[in-house]
């Protein structure tokens, strides 16, 4: 691209946002970065690792992934984790969020067969992080269910999966909990359930929108609660760690000031976010009332004997609510929401249950991902909404980031981080929201699910055409390194 054109685009991008805040993040604020097992590890069938649903899905339906890509090798972090930790050390981050591969530890999905090579791999990763002064933030499940468990019904099979996940969690706590003090049970379970068992576009590719997607969510929430109680009762006293579940959402802005659009936006965030957050994080527990009412009403009209949304018993509500030590929040972008009259009965789906219209403003700056527009003010609104809705919890932003084509001079990512972090800092200093951590997604370019390797989120570029998977720091790595060191978003802060 012509240099003058690049300069014009950068000036245009920067002029779209106000100047970032010139105050420092609090002394106790922690910065980190993240990856996930299937997206970076590779070694998909090495050293006793079992097959997971993404292994099976990408091998069975390669045409569903951009350029028929898969995670067989990915960033090869299974072999290059020490190089990754050198990158983390250079960034100066306080923590590294990564996920365990269930199939690498338990090849058949159950504790009857433990793969010691997988256990040793994660022990080595954790040990090396700690030796370099980096805290491990560990996610138990980031979308990669062992394939043998999917063949038994997967997440909609509540009776099976709650106990199997609990066994896996207990094993992980016992193996790694002496060094790991921050646990996340599930990452973005909505993507697992709605995209995997509703729309069927993610692994395992089951299309049961508004039926199995609800069953999946019900299982995941119960499994999280059981894992939390296991930690609380068996490990907390000796390990003194914390447990949470990552819930993700966009911000949903009413398309107008009308009462109808405001109600539509609230309904959308309750179905999108409250679906998972309310049972765990809300003082009252249970699913959002608007969700309970609407799914029941539409189910009855559709001829179902009972609501398609499973019910929690009063005892389950009490058992699940409050099962967190901090609020894990992933967020990237925003949407506009307009009121819609109910979708026609007979359209059995999660979308029909919500019955709203969402869209993104065409004036918002874009990324390499069609769904990701740059809307930093939406994050400030979202974390204020979380603060008020869920009784002022400690919030850790466990993912936030920007995709491009992988260029080293990634000014768009720098602007994104600067503006989003500025809005987060304003929420802390001006609104009194208790945000204590921020996690940049991601440490390096990696396998981005249906996008394969076409959408790059990394602070470090990875050359996927090179057998060595060479990592190279981008301009944004230098920017983030400076932010971590100074706790300041500009060259000179006022405090």
In angstroms, the CA 356 to CA 264 distance is: 6
> What fold characterizes domain 16-486?
TIM Barrel (3.20.20)
Res 16: pLDDT: 62
3 state DSSP class of 193? helix
Q: pTM for the whole thing?
A: 0.96
In angstroms, the CA 419 to CA 483 distance is: 13
Identify which of 187, 176, 42, 161 has the alpha carbon closest to the alpha carbon of residue 122: 176
Residue recorded with tokens 């370019």: 445
Per-residue pLDDT of the chain (495 residues; tens, 9 = 90+): 444 444 344 444 444 678 899 999 999 999 999 999 999 999 999 999 999 999 999 999 999 999 999 999 999 999 999 999 999 999 999 999 999 999 999 999 999 999 999 999 999 999 999 999 999 999 999 999 999 999 999 999 999 999 999 999 999 999 999 999 999 999 999 999 999 999 999 999 999 999 999 999 999 999 999 999 999 999 999 999 999 999 999 999 999 999 999 999 999 999 999 999 999 999 999 999 999 999 999 999 999 999 999 999 999 999 999 999 999 999 999 999 999 999 998 889 999 999 999 999 999 999 999 999 999 999 999 999 999 999 999 999 999 999 999 999 999 999 999 999 999 999 999 999 999 999 999 999 999 999 999 999 999 999 999 999 999 999 999 999 999 999 999 999 987
Res 34: pLDDT: 98
Give the tokens for residue 488. 């300041």
234 is a catalytic site residue: no
Instruction: Please tell me the total number of residues recorded for the chain in this structure.
Output: 495
Q: 334 has which bridge partners?
A: 251
In angstroms, the CA 87 to CA 103 distance is: 26
**C-alpha 456, offset from chain centre:** 16
Give the tokens for residue 227. 């894992």
Answer yes or no: are the C-beta atoms of 17 and 375 closer than 8 Å.
no
In angstroms, the CA 221 to CA 34 distance is: 23
Res 59: pLDDT: 98
H helices present in 321-474, as ranges: 350-354, 376-389, 411-429
Identify which of 412, 224, 235 has the alpha carbon closest to the alpha carbon of residue 321: 224
Domain ranges of the chain: 16-486
Q: 365 has which bridge partners?
A: 374
Residues contacting 21, CB < 8 A, separation 6+: 422, 425, 426, 429, 489
Answer yes or no: are the C-beta atoms of 228 and 162 closer than 8 Å.
no
3 state DSSP class of 235? coil
Question: Does the bond joining 442 to the residue before it have cis omega, within 30 degrees of 0?
Answer: yes
Res 12: pLDDT: 47
In angstroms, the CA 135 to CA 129 distance is: 7
Task: Tell me which of 41, 51, 135, 399 is the catalytic residue.
Answer: 399
Answer yes or no: are the C-beta atoms of 350 and 198 closer than 8 Å.
yes
Res 389: pLDDT: 98
């Amino acid at each position: 691209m012509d240099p003058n054109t690049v300069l014009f685009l950068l000036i245009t991008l920067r002029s779209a946002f106000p100047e970032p805040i010139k105050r420092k993040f609090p002394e106790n604020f922690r910065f980190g970065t993240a990856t996930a097992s299937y997206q970076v590890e590779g070694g998909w069938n090495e050293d006793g690792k079992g097959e997971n649903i993404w292994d099976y899905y990408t091998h069975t339906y390669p045409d569903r992934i951009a350029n028929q890509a898969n995670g067989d090798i990915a960033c090869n972090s299974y072999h290059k984790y020490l190089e990754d930790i050198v990158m983390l050390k250079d960034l100066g981050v306080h923590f590294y969020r990564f996920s365990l591969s269930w199939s690498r530890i338990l090849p058949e999905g159950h504790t009857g067969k433990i793969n010691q090579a997988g256990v040793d791999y994660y022990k080595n990763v954790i040990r090396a992080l700690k030796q370099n002064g980096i805290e491990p933030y560990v996610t138990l499940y980031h979308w990669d269910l062992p394939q043998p468990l999917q063949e038994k019904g997967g997440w909609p099979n509540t009776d099976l999966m709650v106990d199997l996940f609990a066994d896996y969690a207990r094993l992980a706590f016992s193996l790694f909990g002496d060094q790991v003090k921050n646990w996340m049970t599930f990452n973005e379970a909505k993507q697992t359930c709605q995209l995997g068992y509703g729309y069927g576009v993610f692994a395992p590719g089951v299309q049961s929108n508004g039926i199995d997607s609800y069953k999946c969510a019900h299982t995941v929430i119960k499994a999280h609660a059981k894992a939390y109680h296991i930690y609380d009762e068996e490990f907390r006293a000796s390990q003194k760690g914390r447990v949470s579940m990552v819930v993700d959402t966009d911000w949903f802005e009413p398309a107008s000031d009308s009462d109808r659009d405001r109600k539509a936006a609230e309904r959308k965030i309750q179905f999108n976010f409250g679906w998972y957050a309310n049972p765990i994080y809300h003082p009252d527990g249970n699913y959002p009332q608007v969700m309970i009412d609407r799914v029941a009403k539409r189910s009855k009209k559709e001829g179902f004997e009972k609501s398609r949304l499973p019910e929690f018993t009063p005892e389950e509500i009490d058992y699940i609510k409050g099962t967190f030590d901090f609020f894990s929040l992933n967020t990237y972008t925003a949407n506009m929401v307009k009121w819609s009259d109910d979708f026609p009965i007979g359209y059995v789906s999660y979308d029909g249950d919500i019955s709203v219209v969402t869209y993104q403003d065409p004036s918002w700056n874009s990324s390499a991902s069609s769904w990701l527009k740059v809307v930093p003010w939406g994050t400030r609104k979202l974390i204020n909404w979380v603060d008020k809705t869920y009784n002022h919890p400690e919030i850790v932003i466990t993912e936030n980031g920007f995709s491009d084509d992988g260029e080293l001079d990634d000014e768009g990512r720098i602007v994104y981080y600067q503006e989003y972090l500025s809005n987060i800092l304003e929420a802390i200093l001006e609104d009194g929201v208790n945000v204590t951590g921020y996690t940049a997604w991601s440490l390096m370019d990696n396998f981005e699910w249906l996008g394969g390797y076409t959408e790059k989120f990394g602070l470090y570029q990875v050359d996927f055409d090179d057998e060595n998977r060479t990592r190279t720091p981008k301009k944004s790595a230098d920017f983030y390194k400076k932010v971590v060191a100074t706790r300041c978003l500009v060259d000179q802060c006022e405090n």
